[in-house]
Amino acid sequence: MSANLLAIFYLVSGVLFILALRGLSSPETSRQGNLYGIIGMIIAISVTVISVGNFSIGFVYLIIFLIAGGTLGAFIAFKIPMTAMPELVAGFHSLVGLAAVFVAISAFLNPEIFNLGYPGDIKIASLVEMSLGAAIGAITFTGSIIAFLKLRGIMSGSPITFVGQHILNLALGIILIGLIFYLCKTQSENLFWSLILISFLVGILLIIPIGGADMPVVISMLNSYSGWAAAGIGFTLENTALIITGALVGSSGAILSYIMCKGMNRSFFNVILGGWGATDDTSSKKSSEQKPVKSGNADDAAFLMKNASSVIIVPGYGMAVAQAQHALKEMVDSLKKNGVKVSYAIHPVAGRMPGHMNVLLAEANVPYDEVFELEDINNDFANCDVAYVIGANDVTNPVAKTDPQSPIYGMPILDVEKSKSVLFVKRSLSPGYAGIDNDLFYRENTLMLFADAKKMTEEITKNL
């Protein structure tokens, strides 16, 4: 295949990726967006396979690894539960970063294969590109691994900090810049390996001080990093598809991270540099045993909702864990038959990744026009008879408005406490992912429903 024809096909796939992003910006067009993305990736992969050349050793290896990787990816996609989707995304980001590192290593050790020059005499521009791609890829790899461990519960979701952490991060950042500069001057193999090793360390240090409340931002930020790593390697390989795709992923991930930080009243630079929320939150960790709570059952909840004129559903990670979205839809249908107006309120960081709740509700065929984002529905809580909180915790915690020492202080929350009655479905009074107690549990208008989210919702439906 000629270089011109190859570029045209890569351009077509790039346009399809742009259309995919546009489609994914709205729940109504997300399926169409996914389809565009699939078609674009099929074109990009097919053209790449053809360009390698039939029946060459490279072609055989390419087919073997495509089949192996595709089979493994399909198996994981079929088996993974929706609750594990955030850590799956983090895991995939780590693989993208590692792939960028491997390609950079290959290009540095065998530059003549990629038309970049010869060992010790690599083009300066190419050396800068592969250095940046390798550094960002290495940071993405270890950062994503830490995010995976935190989301999986293997590592504590609380910020992990130590004295002089930010100074160390700054020093390592300056060292990385210096290594890239001297690498371009000397083209020393030792400097190249040092660059990669220090970048691995930086990835760890950037993510460990970020608390659980900010983990959704971390996921989108790492998504952005993986895109920039791919784009950097794309320039090195002079691959149009990698450049376009990497730039799209990098820029869209950065924009999403900025939007989420703004929505959470976070500093974008504080989050991406690590350590936001690493405050002493002991004042927020009040003992739940010393404060009385009102608890109820499905009978009480059904009575309150059946006699309400309006109900707002607030889904959270607890709903995802219990896979309660279908039971919730049945309960809402029963309420509608009784003439109750029902809406869904979605916080930007409900769950553990952007759009987590939207995906679950779409899976249960909840109409899009009943689902509202925080800024569109928050004022409605004051006129709402019942707020049904199913597994959401940190995103409803009034402490975000009142306690400057809290790690979620300043984050906009759903104002469920303003509702006439709050039904809070939770297994226990344990704190949320940010590790702090929720003052909403102890309010006069709150009725705690201690149970599995799915079972409680099914019992309420029976009582309705």
Residues with a known catalytic role: 394
State which H helix or E strand residue 389 sits in.
Answer: strand 386-390
Asked if 38 and 19 touch (Cβ cutoff 8 Å), the reply is no
DSSP string covering 240-299, please?
HHHHHHHHHHHHHHHHHHHHHHHHTT--HHHHHHS-TT-S--GGG---GGGS---B--HH
Dihedral pair phi/psi, residue 162, rounded to 5°? -150, 165
For residue 81, give the DSSP letter: -
Q: Which two tokens stand for residue 72?
A: 């493994």
Give the separation between CA 277 and CA 436, rounded to whole angstroms.
Answer: 12
β-pair type (117-118, 121-122):
antiparallel
For residue 391, give the DSSP letter: B
Which three-class secondary structure state does DSSP give residue 447? strand
Q: Which of 11, 9, 36, 40 is nearest to 23 (CA)?
A: 36
Q: How many residues does the chain have?
A: 464
Q: Quick count: other Cβ atoms within 10 Å of Cβ 145?
A: 21
Q: Which two tokens stand for residue 325?
A: 């979205």
